[in-house]
Amino acid sequence: MEYRRLGNTTLELSAITYGAFAIGGNMWGGNEKKDSIAAIHASLDYGVSSIDTAPFYGFGLSEEMIGEAIKGKDRSKIQLLTKFGLVWDGSNRGKGAFFFDAEENGQAVPVFKYTSKANIMKEVEESLKRLGTDYIDLLQVHWPDSTTPISETMEALELLIEQGKIRAAGVCNYDIPQLKEASETIQLASNQVSYSMLNRGIEHDLVPYAFDTKTGIIVYSPMERGLLTGKYFNESKLKENDHRNDYFSQFNLEKVKNLLASLEPIAQNKKVSVAQLVLRWTTLQPAITVVLAGSRNAEQSVANAKAMDINISTEELIFINNQLSKL
């Protein structure tokens, strides 16, 4: 495994970081607890030292399972990344900007973006309790909130650093104007954004900005929620309540299928899966600090970690990029 410094901080994160959205269950069709715990343990055993989660994932369940999985382990060797700012219950229900309706037990649950100082302090205490720790390595704004001044949110993050409850502060899904406004109050460690072979928009603006400001980039959805594994094209059925049924419809699936077929000979030659090849390609892109990779069981965790062992030559990178230009 390779470990990389995040922005201007002293945090060293594993290049492949465990993404804990799917084990939360909501929007992903559910997952067995024992498999989720085993997935986390396998990741740690194979050098994935960093875990990214959020209160929204499973409405607290993801954080709780992570807390259970790391109990008794050397906390100093594990980096916990979590978020705040998506509100669905409690005293802050309905505050902020409406985001979307999630689902819990067959019922619609309205979710709001809300990043006020009071809400941040409340959410951090709840996350610390669920994770079973007294500090968070990286706390991130989950989504921008149009109802709260960015300066108020950043001042709260500064206070949490001073209190020792978080080691560093980051954001997710911020554009450049929002990043610049935030930088007037605090030096952010990172911006977590969506990026994949099928979604390379950040290369035009956020990547140059990250280089200029020494801001880390944390990538989510590198596999486009499983589409780039190829399983979707092999009659792998999604559960009816799986959000990916709608999500995949945005892509030209025939072109995606052809892309994966073109990568298959390289993967076979290296005795790896196409999914591992895609993951490794993502870690090699400019300004990308770490890449989030989710898994539902131990086998998937091991495969994700071993992707870092793959050597992709300059010629192979050129070939892959030529194939991507056909999308």
C-alpha span between 303 and 73 (Å, rounded): 22
The string of DSSP codes covering 257-310 is HHHHHHHHHHHHHHT--HHHHHHHHHHTSTTEEEEEEE-SSHHHHHHHHHGGG-
Sequence-distant (6+) residues with CB within 8 A of 226 are 232, 244
Using CA atoms, how far residue 5 sits from 11, 129, 200, 207, in Å, is: 6, 27, 23, 16
Question: With contact defined as beta carbons under 8 Å apart, do 21 and 293 qualify?
Answer: no
Q: Which residue type sits at 255?
A: K
Q: Mark whether 57 is an active-site residue.
A: yes
C-alpha span between 18 and 30 (Å, rounded): 18
Other CB atoms within 10 Å distance of the CB of residue 178? 15
The residue to which tokens 């070939």 are assigned: 319
The residue to which tokens 């290296």 are assigned: 270
Q: Which residue type sits at 44?
A: L
Sequence-distant (6+) residues with CB within 8 A of 59 are 24, 26, 88, 89, 104, 109
Measure CA 79 to chain center: 14
Other CB atoms within 10 Å distance of the CB of residue 151? 13
Choosing from 46, 57, 174, 232, which is the catalytic residue? Answer: 57
The residue to which tokens 């259970």 are assigned: 68
User: Which residues are catalytic, by number?
Assistant: 57
